[in-house]
Amino acid sequence: MAIQADYLERVYAGFLGKNVGIRLGAPVEPAIWTYERIREIYGDVKGYLKPWRNFAADDDANGPVFFVRPLLEGDPTAELRPLDVEKAWLEYSREGVGMFWWGGYGRSTEHTAYLNIKSGIHAPESGSIARNGAVVAEQIGGQIFIDTWGLVWPRRPDKAAHYAATAASVSHDGDGLEGARFIAACIAAAFEEQTVASVVQKGLAQLTPGSTYEAVAKAVIAFHAKAPGDWRACQEYLIAEWGYDRYPGLCHMIPNAGVCVLALLYGEGSFARTVEIATMCGWDTDCNAGNVGCIAGVLYGLSSIPAHYRDPINDGIVLSGISGSLNILDIPTFCRRLAAVGYRLAGEAVPSGLAAALASGDGERAFNFDFALPGSTHNLRVSDPANFAVVHRPGEGSDGGNALEFRFDRLLREATGTLFYKPYYKRSDFDDERYSPTFAPTVRPGMEVRIVFRLESWEGQKIGVEGYARSSATGAIIPASAMVFPRPGDVQVLEFTVPEVGGAQVDELGLRIMGFTGAGKRDSGRLLVDSFHIGGKARYTIDMARQSVDFGCVTPFSHDHGSWALEGGRLRLMSHEAAASYTGGHGVGDQRIKARLSPLAGHSHLLGLRCKGAMSGYFAGFDAPGRVAIYRKDFGVTRLAEGPCAWALGGDYELSFEAIGDRLVLALDGKPVLEARDQAHAEGMVGCGCLGPARALYGPFQVEEL
């Protein structure tokens, strides 16, 4: 079945719609926000209920991004197995924090499944009713993490349902799997069907006949047929006949399934009304609004998503997996990767633009912001929205393509403004701490930037434009290029290297403009940006004296087990078990990490390279008294090499570990001491840690991408 011409655009609309629903429903998700209370406090919801500065991570967004990675990383045409998704759970989660709700064994479905897997109970038994009981297995998580399986199987609800149920079987069973089938099938059907009623019917066709999920869906359809104009009456019927009082656990699938069908049908062809009704119904508001938002986004298209819902998202979300750089997601880039997988699953040639994006490691090794998708902004921002604006401009690029407008108004002499991408976040950027996101910068010193733009001047005589970066530690603006004075209408190509920021992180990167018109006069106009490219190899330092503790982690690291803190301007690890901390780019191959290391207790003191997540990577360093070793971690630990080396507790050493091709080299105080060869891991993060009880001080760090 051929993929339609607007496939990528619909994937983009669906993923945006998912995140609109999550953002809308999140403030009233807690159980205290009943249907009645939402009605009393907010009345008829017509917009976001909280003016988030930056919306923090959410489990409803984490799952669809990280659990689909088996398709993004390997051969997507290989049949998906529960074990593939199980490995993604272990790889990208930090045990006990982020990703999903860690509410305790036998209480949180996801936490229960995770601990089962860690104990050797593999999927699908890890999520089965036989293992966990029906109450745990049939909570809502079975359908809230599966949207991307529908997005990669356009017009194939059967395949989408199968893949979604396979993925959901890691943690769910029974009606928990029915929800996965239904939502994913509806998303896939929305690429082809013309009405929401037909989409719902295609979803029903993938359910097990006689299931409770099918029964509640059909009950809502029947009620809608009798009272098509009164969604509140339908929700009150659900509360009375299908409510939480009848379905135990904290967040059962069945009542929320009824809300999803209700919101789709009573949304009456409106994206906005669909997500609003799902939110006003109560129960699991962000989950339900997110699921129906994805379906409605695909079905009704980009133009159906109102600006007051789309603009605050600004093409960017944050996540809370183990990889800090993957936790900063550019939505158009991610959607391109999903669409490329969709073409491959359909057996069709991947369009050149999508294939080129994958070849360049789009979003993991490089960023190509081209504004090709309608309304896309790639999360670019302006320093002062009162005097500057960023607007997508279709057809206004220098080559007739789309452009991003950076508008400036009444810019006085020597006054400045910035247009920037935000490659790093701090705790102070957020209003809350939901799901504890951690961050490593997606842009690092030494990388190369290329921005193509032209000036359109409305008033004034001359402006200057320069590339810049900003320090996360001081907020200082660091010029990165010579200032240019563009002539109106001329295409300008500005290229520069991301500068060092004194051992801190780059938390803004972009263009700074300055007014040069005479005293008492002003400049108005706009820059039309054709493209904004970031790539190349980084070389940077991490000065621990310039870091802080954000979301429970020492910046810019993401910790997995162990106790980590800042001590005397260094990173301190204290652990009774294996522990690791990760940072750097996720898609980096050849690289070197160097750090000062002071081992204080224990035998294991290591540096890491090419770490994909919690379960894979290379580690090397001190291994036992007078010994060093190199290890491969791959859902287990293998010692690749070991040898003698003089070191002692209380000493202070310069440890270096590099990976070039299949060659792994450990050096101590500048001298190679151990080498191994291995081809298991091609790319990943850098880090440090231990394989057993240890206490040590690390830092400063130097990282070079080779």
266, 294, 318 - which closes a domain? 318
Q: Of the candidates 332, 268, 389, which has an alpha carbon nearest to the alpha carbon of residue 12?
A: 332
CATH number at residue 285: 1.10.4080.10
Asked whether residue 348 is assigned to any structural domain, the reply reads no
Same domain, 138 and 29: yes
Asked whether residue 349 is assigned to any structural domain, the reply reads no
Same domain, 399 and 267: no
Same domain, 154 and 248: yes
Asked whether residue 93 is assigned to any structural domain, the reply reads yes
DSSP helix/strand/coil, 159: helix
Asked whether residue 199 is assigned to any structural domain, the reply reads yes
Three-state SS string over 29-82 comes to CCCCCCHHHHHHHHCCCCCCCCCCCCCCCCHHHHHHHHCCHHHHHCCCCCCCCH
Asked whether residue 373 is assigned to any structural domain, the reply reads no
DSSP helix/strand/coil, 587: coil
CATH number at residue 690: 2.60.120.560
Same domain, 242 and 123: yes
Asked whether residue 471 is assigned to any structural domain, the reply reads yes
CA 190/CA 286 separation, integer angstroms: 21
Asked whether residue 362 is assigned to any structural domain, the reply reads no
Q: Quick one: tokens of 633?
A: 């971690």
CA 166/CA 685 separation, integer angstroms: 29
Task: List Cβ neighbours of 263 (8 Å cut-off, separation of 6 or more).
Answer: 231, 274, 275, 277, 278, 281, 288, 289, 292
Same domain, 100 and 212: yes
Same domain, 512 and 441: yes
Asked whether residue 355 is assigned to any structural domain, the reply reads no
Task: Tell me the Ramachandran region of residue 442: left when phi exceeds 0, alpha when psi lies from -120 to 50, beta otherwise.
Answer: alpha
CATH number at residue 496: 2.60.120.260
pLDDT, position 360: 77
The full DSSP string for 264-293 is: HHHTTT-HHHHHHHHHHT-SSHHHHHHHHH
Same domain, 695 and 591: yes
CA 470/CA 596 separation, integer angstroms: 26
Place of tokens 């291994």: 623
318, 352, 373 - which closes a domain? 318
Same domain, 562 and 525: no
Domain ranges, residue 476? 381-537
Whether 335 and 43 have beta carbons less than 8 Å apart is answered as: no
Same domain, 570 and 532: no
Total number of domains constituting the chain: 3
Q: Of the candidates 79, 85, 49, which has an alpha carbon nearest to the alpha carbon of residue 67?
A: 85
Residue 630 burial by Cβ neighbours in a 10 Å radius (0-12, 13-18, 19+): buried
State the CB neighbour count (10 A cutoff) for residue 484: 15
Phi, psi torsion values for 88, nearest 5 degrees? -65, -40
Same domain, 182 and 227: yes
Whether 154 and 342 have beta carbons less than 8 Å apart is answered as: yes
- pLDDT mean by block of 10 residues, the chain; 706 residues: 92 98 96 96 97 94 97 93 98 96 97 98 98 98 97 98 98 98 98 98 98 98 97 98 96 98 97 98 98 98 98 98 98 97 96 83 91 97 94 95 94 92 97 93 98 94 94 97 96 98 98 86 92 97 97 97 98 98 97 98 98 98 97 98 97 98 98 98 98 98 98
Instruction: Assess whether the previous peptide bond of 374 is cis (omega < 30° from 0).
Output: no
CA 562/CA 690 separation, integer angstroms: 9
Q: Distances in Å between the alpha carbon of 23 and those of 59, 190, 638?
A: 12, 22, 43
* Rounded to 5°, angle at Cα 467 from 466 and 472: 130
CA 642/CA 629 separation, integer angstroms: 4
Give the E-state strand segments of 108-211 in sequence order: none
CA 149/CA 215 separation, integer angstroms: 24
318, 334, 360 - which closes a domain? 318
Same domain, 458 and 570: no
CA 138/CA 467 separation, integer angstroms: 53
Same domain, 310 and 409: no
pTM, 2 dp: 0.97
Q: How far is CA 539 from the centre of its chain?
A: 24
CA 118/CA 126 separation, integer angstroms: 10
Please provide the distance, in angstroms rounded to a whole number, between the alpha carbons at the two ends of the chain.
Answer: 43
* Rounded to 5°, angle at Cα 421 from 416 and 423: 125
Q: Distances in Å between the alpha carbon of 353 and those of 151, 349, 359?
A: 19, 11, 10
pLDDT, position 337: 96
Whether 65 and 91 have beta carbons less than 8 Å apart is answered as: no
